[in-house]
Amino acid sequence: MSLDPKPPVGLKFDVTPPVGVLFVCLGNICRSPTAEGVFRQRVVQDGLAEHVSTDSAGTGDWHIGKPPHRDTMAAARRRGYDLSALRARLVTPADFDCFPVILAMDRANLGNLQRLQPRGFAGHLGLFLDFAPDQPIREMPDPYGGEAEGFDQVLDLVEEGVAGLLKSLREKISSAK
């Protein structure tokens, strides 16, 4: 986990709704599907479903086609989020055409995405927790292989990051109208 100072929160690209947001972690069974599920529910609750779409992917191919980790789904279910329809997939260069906002859970995955990023990508590629300005960490801890409490910690961080991301998106969408 990094304790580096955070850059100012905000999206640095022009928005033309609908805006696609892609969350990316390593295997796409813990952190990124959690972010996708929480974000998707909040987008609907906030009445932004016609303006925002979302997905998640992994930079590793070990879990392609599999549902989120059982502890991920259990932690999400306890808070009212349903991740059961999600399936792991691999991030591809085509995602940079479909998603102007691509958010990595940690620096290692951000580096993988930067190597995959096509020239001319004008969207926002960064760390998800940059949208949680009150958090002292910038990298989402990976709960895979750990205790159940780690999955609850991921949910805490995701809920905070989603709130900040939605605030930035609302501002961009409002200014685009």
Run of H or E residues at 25: strand 19-25
**Candidate list 25, 30, 42, 55, residue with the active-site label:** 25
Cα–Cα distance between 24 and 46 in angstroms, integer? 23
Is residue 142 among the annotated active site residues? yes
**Candidate list 31, 40, 89, 138, residue with the active-site label:** 31
**Candidate list 61, 134, 142, 170, residue with the active-site label:** 142
Cβ atoms 159, 38 nearer than 8 A: yes
3-state secondary structure 32-45: HHHHHHHHHHHHHH
Cβ atoms 69, 148 nearer than 8 A: no
Could you tell me which residues are beta bridge partners of residue 55? 22
Cβ atoms 146, 162 nearer than 8 A: no
Is residue 152 among the annotated active site residues? no
Catalytic residue positions, numbered:
25, 31, 142
